[in-house]
Amino acid sequence: MTGEQDLQYTAEHEWVDADGDTATVGITAYAAARLGDIVYVELPGVGDEVVAGSVVGELESTKSVGELYAPVTGVVTEVNDDVASSPEVVNSDPFGAGWLLRVRITETPELLDHAAYQQLTGEA
Amino acid sequence: MSDPEHRDPERRRSPLHEVHAAAGATFTEFAGWSMPLKYGSELAEHAAVRSAAGLFDLSHMGEIVVLGPEAADALDAALLGEASAMETGRAKYTLMLNAEGGVVDDLVLYRTGPDRFLVVANAANRELVASELRSRAIGFQAEVQDESDDIGLIALQGPRSLEVMTEVGGFSADQDERTEQRFVELITGLRNYRFLAAWYLGHPVLVARTGYTGEIGYELYVAPGLLPELWNALLETGRGSGVLPVGLAARDTLRLEAGMPLYGNELTALTRPQQAGLGRLVRPEKSADYVGRRSVESFDPAGHRILVGLVSEGRRAGRHGYAVRAGDDVVGEVTSGALSPSLGHPIAMAYIDPDAISRDLAIDVRGTALPARVVPLPFFTRPDRKA
Residues B190 and B42 in one domain: yes
Could you say which residues of chain A have pLDDT below 70? 1-2, 124
Question: Residue B330 maps to which CATH number?
Answer: 2.40.30.110
pLDDT of residue B4: 43
Provide Rg for chain B, Cα atoms.
Answer: 21
- Chain B segment 257-296 residues within 8 A of A by beta carbon are none
| Residue B274 falls inside a structural domain | yes
Residue B382 lies in a domain: no
State what percent of residues in chain B have pLDDT above 70.
Answer: 96
* Alpha carbon of A60: minimum distance to chain B alpha carbons (Å): 8
ipTM: 0.82
Q: Specify whether the CB–CB gap between A28 and A13 falls below 8 A.
A: yes
Bridge partners of B117, per DSSP, are B66, B111
Indicate whether B265 and B353 sit together in one domain: yes
Of A37, A63, A65, the CB nearest to B41: A37
Helix, strand or coil, per DSSP, at residue A122? coil
Say if B124 falls within a structural domain.
Answer: yes
Q: ∠ at Cα B253 (B247, B257), nearest 5°?
A: 140
User: What average pLDDT does the structure give for chain B?
Assistant: 95
Compute the distance between CA of residue B232 and CA of residue B225 in angstroms, rounded to an integer: 13
- Inspect the interface and report whether the beta carbons of A65 and B38 lie closer than 8 Å: no
Compare CB distances from B1 to A27, A40, A63 and report the shortest one's residue: A27
The verdict on a CB contact (< 8 Å) between A65 and B26 is no
pLDDT at B387 over 50: no
Nearest chain B residue (CA) to A71: B1
| Digit-coded pLDDT (tens) for B106-141 | 999 999 999 999 999 999 999 999 999 999 999 999
pLDDT at B177 over 70: no
State how far the Cα of B91 lies from the Cα of B221, in Å rounded to an integer.
13
B92 and B179, same structural domain?
Answer: no
Looking at CA atoms only, how far is residue A17 from chain B in angstroms? 17
Q: Which residue of A has its CA nearest to B316?
A: A40
pTM score, two decimals?
Answer: 0.92
Higher confidence at residue B130 or residue B10?
B130
Contacts of B336 in chain A (CB under 8 A): none
How close A21 comes to chain B (CA, Å)? 23
- Tell me the residue type at B309: G
Question: Residue B276 falls within a domain, yes or no?
Answer: yes
> Rounded to whole angstroms, how far apart are CA atoms A69 and A58?
9
Q: What's the rounded Cα separation, in Å, for the pair B156 and B234?
A: 8
B305 with B197, same domain?
A: no
A83: closest CA among A101, A70, A68, A63? A101
In angstroms, the Cα distances linking B158 to A63, B58, B245 are 21, 16, 12
User: Closest to A60 (Cβ–Cβ): which among B5, B37, B316?
Assistant: B316
Measured distance between the N- and C-terminal CA atoms of chain B, rounded to whole angstroms: 45
At B38 the pLDDT is 96
* B51 shares its domain with B200: yes
Q: Is residue B123 within 8 Å of B129, Cβ to Cβ?
A: no
Residues B260-298: b if buried by 16+ CB within 10 A, e if exposed: bbbbebbbeeebbbbbbbbeebbeeebebebbbbeebee
CB contact under 8 A, B4 and A64: yes
Residue B232 in this model has a pLDDT that exceeds 90 = yes
Is the CB of A34 less than 8 angstroms away from the CB of B3?
Answer: yes
How far off is chain A from B60, nearest CA to CA, in Å? 20
Whether residue B387 is contained in a domain is answered as no
Indicate which CATH number applies to the domain containing B90.
3.30.70.1400
B90 and B14 within one domain: no
- B12-21, B44-53, B120-129, B177-186: segment of lowest average pLDDT: B177-186
Q: What is the pLDDT of residues B316-342, one digit of tens each?
A: 999 999 999 999 999 999 999 999 999
Q: Which run of H or of E encompasses A117?
A: helix A114-121
Q: Which residue from B minimizes the CA distance to A39?
A: B315
Q: Chain A within 8 Å of B25 (Cβ-Cβ)?
A: no
Query: For chain B, what is the domain count?
Result: 3
CA distances from B24 to B18, B36, B41, B242 (A): 10, 9, 11, 18
Provide, for chain A, the percentages of residues in helix, strand and coil under a 3-state DSSP scheme, each rounded to the nearest 5.
Answer: 20, 40, 40
Q: Please answer yes or no on whether B1 and A59 come within 8 Å at the CB atom.
A: yes
Task: Sort residue A107 into left (φ over 0), alpha (ψ -120 to 50) or beta.
Answer: beta
Measured between CB atoms, which of A40, A63, A67 is closest to B316? A40
Alpha-carbon span A51 to B195, nearest angstrom: 60
Give yes or no: residues B271 and B233 share one domain: no
Is B94 a member of any domain? yes
Chosen for mutation from A61, A63, A100, A112 (greatest number of chain B CBs closer than 10 Å) is: A63
B316 lies within 8 A of chain A by CB:
yes
Residue B384 within any structural domain of the chain = no
**B107 closest CA partner among B212, B2, B201:** B212
Q: Is the pLDDT of residue B369 over 80?
A: yes
Whether the predicted pLDDT of B346 surpasses 50: yes
User: Which pLDDT band holds residue B2 (cuts at 50, 70, 90)?
Assistant: very low
Among residues B190, B222, B256, which one ends one of the domains? B256
* A108: three-class secondary structure by DSSP: coil
Q: Are residues B363 and B265 part of one domain?
A: yes
What gap in Å lies between CA A74 and CA A62, rounded to an integer? 31
Per-residue model confidence (pLDDT) at position B361: 98
Q: Which residues of B7-34 are buried (b: 16+ CB within 10 A; e: fewer)?
A: eeeebeebbbbebbeeeebbbbebbebb
C-beta separation of B99 from B41 below 8 A: no
- Per residue in B75-105, pLDDT (tens digit) is 999 999 999 999 999 999 999 999 999 999 9
CATH number for the domain including B181? 3.30.1360.120
Residue in A27, A62, A65 nearest the CB of B341: A62
Q: Looking at the partner chain, which of A13, A40, A91 has a beta carbon nearest the beta carbon of B315?
A: A40
Note whether residue B386 is domain-resident: no
pLDDT at residue A3, rounded to an integer:
84
Instruction: Based on DSSP, count helices (H) and strands (E) in chain A, helices before strands.
Output: 4, 9
Residue that is last in its domain, among B213, B240, B256 = B256
Pick from A42, A60, A68: which is nearest to B1 by CB? A68
Q: Does B253 touch chain A (CB under 8 A)?
A: yes
Q: Is residue B53 domain-shared with residue B100, that is, in the same domain?
A: no
Q: For residues B121 and B63, what is the distance between their CA atoms, to the nearest angstrom? A: 6
Give residue B42's domain range: 4-59+151-256
Spell out the SS3 assignment of chain B: CCCCCCCCCCCEECCCHHHHHHCCCEEEEECCEEEEEECCCHHHHHHHHHHCCEEEECCCCEEEEEECCCHHHHHHHHCCCCHHHCCCCEEEEEEEECCCCCEEEEEEEEEEECCEEEEEECHHHHHHHHHHHHHHCCCCCCEEEECCCCCEEEEEECCCHHHHHHHCCCEEECCCCCCHHHHHHHHHCCCCCEEEEEEECCEEEEEECCCCCCCCEEEEEECHHHHHHHHHHHHHHHHHHCCEEECHHHHHHHHHHCCCCCECCCECCCCCCCCCCCHHHCCCCCCCCCCCHHHHHCCCCCCCCEEEEEECCCCCCCCCCCEEEECCEEEEEEEEEEECCCCCCEEEEEEECHHHCCCCEEEEECCEEEEEEEECCCCCCCHHHCC
Do B113 and B236 lie in one domain? The reply is no
Cβ of residue B6 closer than 8 Å to a chain A Cβ: no
Last residue of a domain, one of B121, B147, B173: B147
- Pairing of β B323-326 and β B306-311: unpaired
Residue B168 and residue B357: Cα distance in Å, rounded? 48
Chain A interface mutation, best of B2, B39, B379, highest count of A Cβ atoms under 10 Å: B2
Q: Does B54 share its domain with B202?
A: yes
User: Is residue B55 located within the same domain as residue B66?
Assistant: no
